[in-house]
Chain A
Amino acid sequence: MESQGAPITLAGTWFAAGSSKSHVATLSLDSGVLTLSANDAAATFAPGDVHVTGLDDPLSVDFPDGGSFVATAGDAGARALLAALRVGDSPVARLEKSWRTVIIAAAATMALTALFFFVILPAAAKPAAMIVPQKWARIIDDQTMIILDKAAFGASTLEDDRRQELEGVLAGLVDQLGLDADRYQLLMRHGRMMGPNAFAMPGGTIVVTDQMADFVDNNDQLRAVMAHEIGHVEERHGLQQLLRGSTLAIMLVMVGPDAGTISHLASGMPAVLMEKGYSRNFERAADLYACRALTGTGEGTEAYARIMEKLMEAYPEAPAGAAWFSTHPDSYERVVMIRGYRP
């Protein structure tokens, strides 16, 4: 390695191999030779034989015999020496030094993060969700139900014939829409604090609460609610959400601020916020599916609009978790969309 120009001399401290004892020392570079001087003794090294550990100030240089030289902090010679040895010139170090590349990196980081969250992840989750076998998805349903039955639901208190009626509504709808009847199963539960509610699970399990069965004016409204839930299942919204959530969590482990730290795994707050945004889009997609389905069977969207309005009137504040549309934003907007739907 060639180094031209005036000799560079750095003041600092030298430590012998295996010892913390400090010796006042100087390190100089002249005509491509490094000279270390301490206590009236001196030794010379080829720049290729030393290992520079500090990329910036304070600079430290390790020697092949295990000794180490630490430059005095703030010595201007450190940067000159690094430049002469071309050590600080690694491509990454160069990027870090220029404000222009730093600004580009900041913009790229934000753009790529946004691209990943809003474009790549949703686009990739859809085909991935489509190929998850029905059997696996049903396992997820069953396991989730075990927990929900313990934590949130009570046993259904509906009469047997009412239950059969509801099953008939779902079976009829699935048949009319030409869907796979094996994919769907209806479960009735007492919703307790949840009130009138219905939801779809990834594997095609549709849960309707007793309160919902009592709340509707007629079975057409129930059909509308089920059409919405079928929309979630057919478009694999639940599975997409699971795949997105897990990928986000794993990405946070890999590139988060303190990546790889197990104790920080729980700090998935941004992922949770993202999920909220996603679920809004899913609700709109399920609305559209239901409108299309109900128009296709010839009954129209009026019953659907009516049950949405009825829920809105009963729960004007929509307390969290208390109503079917609680995670569904802009309920009024949705009613307008449903009523105005034209195929």
Chain B
Amino acid sequence: MDSFDGYTPASDDPGTDAAAAATPPEPRTAGFHFTGTTDEYFRIWIVNACLSIVTLGIYSAWAKVRMTKYVRGHTLVDGVPFTYDANPIAILKGRLIAVGAFGLWTGLGYISPVAQLALLVPAAFIVPWLVVASLRFNARVTAYRNVGFRFDGDYKGALKYFVGFMLLAGCTGYIMLPWAIRQQRAWQARHTSWGNRRLELRALTSEFYAAYMPMFIAVVILIFVMFFMFSVAAVTGGKGDEGSATDTAMSTGMIVGFAITYIVIILAAFWTQAALVGTTLGGLAVGDQSRMRCSIASSRYAWILGSNALVSLLTLGMMYPWGEVRRLRYLASHTTIGGAETFDTVVGPRGGPASAAGDEVADAFDIDVGF
């Protein structure tokens, strides 16, 4: 086997360092493109879903690798795809842990809700570990232009941002939630790097508050409706005979009121989710050279999320691939990254299962639990 070890690029290549130093290249912005098709994605999804069911879920880890590989491989930046090369065993491990924990949790809920609540304490210390393991795994198996991503956040950071700050947000009646989420994502970004370029979240706290506005408004509506309902119930309760017309009308009114509030909350949740995607993605910088921009309209993206969920539900999941492709296409076509002229200058090893870095310790603890 010949190898490229002794290879050096020819000096007349227009992209070489020498040439670049002489004339700095024009600043250039590159677009994201999603080239996957509904047809292909559906076929991959249904075959893999079927195999997952037949194998009682064991194959689902391989299915996850196949699906993610398809999505990342069809997400192009500047015409070059991302690569995803994960070991399905790691994903299977993560999945078994999730199932075990969830089973234990539900089982305990039936036997003793008090013990279930008590279990939250150790869970608060285990979750950060899972977060770190999962983020590290996902970064390590992803590469772009043959340079791998890396996540080097530690347990202490995850404990602080995923548990501490969340508790703090909860204590303030979630008024501080947008701030906490920004802190959390900023931590995630600054511990993620692509080769020698570190990510940075430059989105402002005020932008996160703006993103959470629909959710805050919906919660205020919910509190108002609940307050109104219970005051009505308190005033009329006990006076009307059971089963009387007023009683029935009241119950019906309550059901309708709660149904409307529930729908408002779901819509607000989609809207907030959409705004968060735009704010986070559009607020990222990859090193000093590249700033990302995301021009998705929250209303449009929320509509895509909401209608996808509804269509998926109505077709018993069969239209899920259609929705995913639709979502990814919209998201990619509205995302750009600056400084594309410097994409040639990034150096760093590539991770993945074929990694020569030899981090067996990391391998042993490879798990992927989605967050």
Contacts and interface: CB of A to CB of B under 8 A. Distances in A.
A140 B320 contact: no
Contacts of A255: 49, 52-53, 57, 60
Contact of A260 (B5, B79, B91): B91
Interface in A18-65: 18-23, 36, 39-41, 43-46, 49, 51, 53-58, 60, 62-65
B57 to A, nearest CB: 3
Given A18-B349, A250-B103, A262-B371, A315 B243 contact: yes
B99 A92 contact: no
Contacts of B94: 260
Given A67-B4, A257-B312, A260-B91, A39 B10 contact: yes
A19 B1 contact: no
Per DSSP, are chain A's interface residues mostly helix, strand or loop, or mixed?
mixed
**Among the interface residues B53, B114, B195, B252, which one has the most CB atoms of the partner chain A within 10 A?**
B53
Contact of A16 (B7, B35, B354): B7
A97 to B, nearest CB: 7
B371 A105 contact: no
Contact of A64 (B3, B64, B111): B3
Interface string A231-265: 00000000000100010011101110111111111
A242 B110 contact: yes
Interface residues of A, number: 86
Contacts of A269: 313
B113 A146 contact: yes
A262 B369 contact: yes
B248 interface: yes
Contacts, number: 236
A96 B47 contact: yes
A95 interface: yes
A250 B99 contact: yes
B103 A246 contact: yes
B270 to A, nearest CB: 13
Contact of B10 (A40, A97, A262): A40
Interface string B73-91: 1101001110101000001
A255 B103 CA distance: 15
Contacts of B56: 254
Contacts of A110: 316
Contacts of B247: 319, 322
Interface string B14-46: 010000000000000000000100001011101
Contacts of A257: 312, 317, 320
B317 A21 contact: no
A264 B146 CA distance: 32
Given A92-B66, A96-B43, A262-B371, 8 more contacts: A17-B146, A23-B9, A105-B46, A143-B110, A195-B243, A249-B106, A317-B251, A322-B251
9 contacts: A19-B347, A43-B7, A53-B73, A53-B83, A73-B81, A92-B51, A109-B46, A259-B57, A262-B370
Interface of A: 13, 15-23, 36, 39-41, 43-46, 49, 51, 53-58, 60, 62-68, 70, 73, 92, 95-97, 99, 101-102, 105-106, 108-110, 112-113, 116, 136, 139-140, 143, 146-147, 195-196, 211, 242, 246, 249-251, 253-255, 257-265, 269-270, 314-317, 319-320, 322
Interface of B: 1-5, 7, 9-10, 13, 15, 35, 40, 42-44, 46-54, 56-57, 60, 62, 64, 66, 69-70, 73-74, 76, 79-81, 83, 85, 91, 94-95, 98-99, 102-103, 106-107, 110-114, 144-147, 195, 242-243, 247-248, 251-252, 255, 312-313, 316-318, 320, 343-350, 354, 356, 368-371
